A and B are shown apart, each in its own frame.
Chain A
Amino acid sequence: MKHMTRKATRHVNQNEGLIFEKSGSGKAAWKLAPLDVPEVDTQALLGAAERSDLGNMPEVSEIEIIRHFTRLSTWNYAIDLGMYPLGSCTMKYNPRVNELVSRLDGIANAHPYQPEKISQGALRIIKTLSDCLLEITGMDAITLQPAAGAHGELTGLLLIRAYHDSKGAPRKKVLIPDSAHGTNPATAAMVGYAVENLKSNANGMVDVAALEAQMNEDVAALMLTNPNTLGVFEQEIHKIADILHAKGGLLYMDGANMNALVGKVRPGDFGVDVMHLNLHKTFSTPHGGGGPGSGPVAIRKQLEPFLPRPMLISKSDGTLAFDYDRPRSIGRVRSFYGNFGMFVRALAYILANGPDGLRQTTEDAVLNANYIRKGLEGTYDLPYSSASMHEVVFSDKVQAKKGVRTMDIAKRLIDYGFHPYTTAFPLIVPGALMIEPTESEPKEELDLFLEAMRSIAQEIEEDAELVRTAPHSTRVSRLDETAAARKPVLRWKPNSENHKSEV
């Protein structure tokens, strides 16, 4: 390594094969309590339905399982190890008290069908969180049923479709800016809408004139991320909303970037009709290696009749209950009531912050992003000079001259002890470096990040190959993704080639 990194040092970690490779007949990590009812003749009960063989399921001891997963865990990067500057993903600290309260007996062990009389605690959690999210978004009604952001988008577009259908005018298209997340067009397609691309203007924002020209009675909605995926607040948001509303269309807001707004400005106040939140981004529930998430959808009053069944209501005696009698509802989007465990964590986060904390969180997130922007301006190309909110997007224009692309820089960051930023997104910036520090990072960690980014830029000048072949410090070097896709090996098989190349 040319330049010493202050953040990371190489150290030994353990090798570990697949669990199947450790399996041995007779090893076990389980013990059942003695059966307190008579033994049964399984053959007599099940006949041909009885299963005799469980194939290649492993047989291992408890310490082997502990070591197996602990060793695997040490091969992961995580927020707990350091900054995770993934733009649009809002990788913030996951408070541990949230984990504790979500595991309390009456919360973790509540059955979704237990009588409402003994579910008042859970219903109170849903109600309190709903009220907080409505206040934060400035919207009129909310459903917590969607299980993730994309699922929230699906719910939101179903609501929009039901709304237009109720007006007797089903519409055909959804407008989506070219800077949008891939889930937006994929969702529109699932709801049976045609997707029409909306070009961004020179400042990376919605081109209001283009919108005006493209808007007509066939357009059901515009799906907009605000701040957009460049981290720029759509300043003409009121005009955008007006253009849509004038022709009977609705404004859908993808809440992926809500971490720039909480406590400072409310989507309900700037004309949004439908929006989803990502509790696993803005409200600190852990990403867990890819999920679970939770994607509540908040709406304006006129869409309320269409919300998924059931809805929570307060009864006259002060207790809470679910209302299933909603004839105009779009129906269910998920079984039961959604990812309740995430509601608990998100609410704990809100309670830990209160009004002051929520506002300061947003301010710190924006402050940190601007500190990074200032620190890297001049070193990396800034394709759009519009003011940044909670994230900043650079491009690899300067470094590309040396044949080094954004992915190479991202991979080199790993050697410096950081997780890469988001690469190659948004699509409107060729070779994008999208950086979102979140409020969680202290100045010391931000400085280490700036130092790493500047050092990599210098390395590119001196030895581009070093960066192009990064990372150099990980257990595995760059993996052959093409081969993985061409001849997919999606599971282990006994006596296969799986193990030969290990270690």
Chain B
Amino acid sequence: MLKAIGVNSIDDLFAPIPAEYRLNRDLKVPRQMAESEIVDWFRERSRENGDGHSTFLGAGVYYHYRPVIIDSLISRGEFLTAYTPYQAEISQGTLQSIFEFQTMICELTGMEVANASMYDGSTAAAEAVMMAVRLSGRRNVAVARSVHPEYREVLSTYAFHQGMPLATVPFEDSGRVNLREIERAVTTDTACVLVQSPNFFGTIEDVEAVAEIAHAKGAMVVVAIAETVSLGIIEPPRSADIIAMEAQSFGVPPGFGGPYCGVIATRESNVRQMPGRLVGQTTDRNGKRGFVLTLATREQHIRREKATSNICTNQALVALMVNIFMTVYGKVGLKELARHNLAKAAYAAQRFAKSASVLFAGVPRFNEFVVRTSEDPYAINSRLLGHKVVGGLPLKKFYPELGNASLWCCTELTSRSMIDTAVGLVGESERSVRSAKEETAEEVAR
């Protein structure tokens, strides 16, 4: 090949790089490994990484059973190793599957259009808010404090240089966003209100009441949904203007935080301000049905600095996992799956309530609930870890005012015996704190 090109050595091809910048040594990276060694190296990392533990963690990332056919199908090289479907004639497989994905997301959310995916729930929420800013021509944003704390952090990073003042709206004792505070925060300069439902505490927000307040002032409502399995049994927020989802629950492994699958869904009238790719139906020269990427004039490769977003690469293969999951469970299965989640969480919350305090109990919730203990939840969790069980997420880091509270999640995979073990340990902790207090009280009395 060198001869065909007309050079003497590979080095000649690198001659355009000024000599003083060329690297004349080996990179200091680990030596080349055989496939067997690579597998061994990662197996070891896997063992150091909680392999074999069960968990009560949720908080935006959920353990649901992943039907085997998801990985069988997404491992097909024609899906796995294909590029973005710009060349429609040889990408109909990807394009049709995205069209089906968009349709099912619309069915589940009650919205009219959905895009082909965003990076994750947090960036979807931030982009949905920016979309509301463009649509409304207003800049102020009210964000419920019951929205996932990391989603709020991402939003404030995105909003910082866009002149979008963010107001945080507190939650009330029920765990829901405080409607009176929303009333106070929303003005005729407000572009949108962002809430999450089920919210970070697992509580279902009264989106309709939020929308009534927002819409009366001409503001839009953006609803984040982090636990999509809830859509099987909870009414979608139909009064929302934009829905920003994290669809990880639909067949995507927790994978230490990603890759996941964000999605934005909205009404048809808002579509030209939608970020991200969209697949549309059309016909070929012979009138045959086919699918193409469409409305690309919103996107960066056409509009450059005037695009609706800079997003290019999205989460296509993860969206395919979500698509297959939705297809497997479908109309009946999703509802049953959601019902199982509801039952497990209801059972666990009821058991926990016997020894500790379960917060926000008066309002409907899905598969998460907040338990407040007398003892530091980190201490309880470290005893649970001895049973190879990861306890609920201590909330101190995000909500110091809730004290020794932690967020527990139960899905269809959480067994009754695991719940009973955790409840038992929390009960023991409460009893020992109580008896320690009594002892102190006795001592004081003496």
Contacts and interface: CB of A to CB of B under 8 A. Distances in A.
Q: Which of A57, A266, A280, A338 has the most CB of B within 10 A?
A: A57
B83 A135 contact: no
B234 interface: yes
B314 interface: yes
Interface residues of B, number: 190
A49 B76 contact: no
Interface stretch (A358-366, A397-405, A456-464): A358-366
Contacts of B256: 107, 110-112, 119, 122, 336-337, 340-341
Contacts of B104: 57-58
B290 interface: yes
B100 A20 contact: yes
A143 B123 CA distance: 17
B379 interface: no
Interface stretch (A211-219, A243-251, A296-304, A345-353): A345-353
Contacts of A235: 16-18
A375 B1 CA distance: 10
A323 to B, nearest CB: 13
B19 to A, nearest CB: 10
16 contacts: A30-B330, A32-B333, A46-B233, A46-B234, A57-B334, A99-B80, A108-B254, A109-B255, A111-B50, A118-B48, A182-B303, A348-B42, A370-B7, A371-B5, A488-B271, A501-B287
Given A54-B335, A57-B330, A58-B330, A108 B255 contact: yes
A485 B204 CA distance: 37
B290 A476 contact: yes
B399 interface: no
Contact of A370 (B5, B48, B73): B5
Contact of B316 (A103, A289, A332, A359): A289
A373 B320 CA distance: 37
B45 A125 contact: yes
Interface in A45-84: 45-51, 54-60, 62, 65-66, 68-81, 84
The 5 closest A-B pairs by CB, nearest first: A288-B317, A354-B32, A336-B257, A80-B77, A106-B51
A264 B21 CA distance: 9
A489 interface: yes
Given A478-B284, A479-B282, A335 B150 contact: yes
A437 to B, nearest CB: 11
Contacts of A122: 45, 49, 256
Q: Which of B93, B255, B339, B346 has the most CB of A within 10 A?
A: B255
B304 to A, nearest CB: 4
A206 B393 CA distance: 52
Given A73-B79, A76-B92, A479-B88, A192 B162 contact: yes
A432 interface: no
A68 B103 CA distance: 16
Contacts of A80: 77-78, 80-81
Nearest to A30: B333
Contacts of A367: 1-2, 5, 10, 13
Interface string A144-186: 0001111101100010010000000000000000000111011
A374 to B, nearest CB: 5
Nearest to B125: A335
B253 interface: yes
B277 interface: yes
A485 B302 CA distance: 14
Given A334-B119, A367-B10, A374-B4, A78 B305 contact: no
A147 B120 contact: yes
Contacts of B316: 287-292
Interface string A376-392: 00000000001101000
A353 B180 CA distance: 60
B17 A45 contact: no
B347 interface: yes
B55 A114 contact: yes
Given A57-B107, A111-B61, A187-B310, A51 B23 contact: no
Contacts of A386: 16
B143 to A, nearest CB: 14
B297 interface: yes
Given A45-B342, A476-B89, A490-B279, 6 more contacts: A28-B333, A106-B52, A107-B46, A289-B94, A334-B258, A414-B89
Contacts of A59: 330-332
Contacts of B307: 182, 186, 189
Given A81-B77, A111-B256, A354-B33, A481 B385 contact: no
Given A33-B412, A100-B39, A189-B305, A46 B327 contact: no
Given A51-B232, A289-B85, A358 B29 contact: yes
B91 interface: yes
A121 B49 contact: yes
B175 interface: no
Interface string B11-31: 001111110011100111111
B391 to A, nearest CB: 9
Contacts of A106: 45-52
A97 B328 contact: no
Contact of A491 (B103, B346, B348): B103
Nearest to B390: A114
B350 to A, nearest CB: 9
Contacts of A452: none
Given A107-B45, A111-B256, A334-B154, A97 B85 contact: no
A103 B258 CA distance: 12
Given A54-B107, A107-B42, A111-B57, A288 B27 contact: no
B400 interface: no
Given A109-B254, A331-B153, A336-B257, A89 B61 contact: no
A344 B334 CA distance: 31
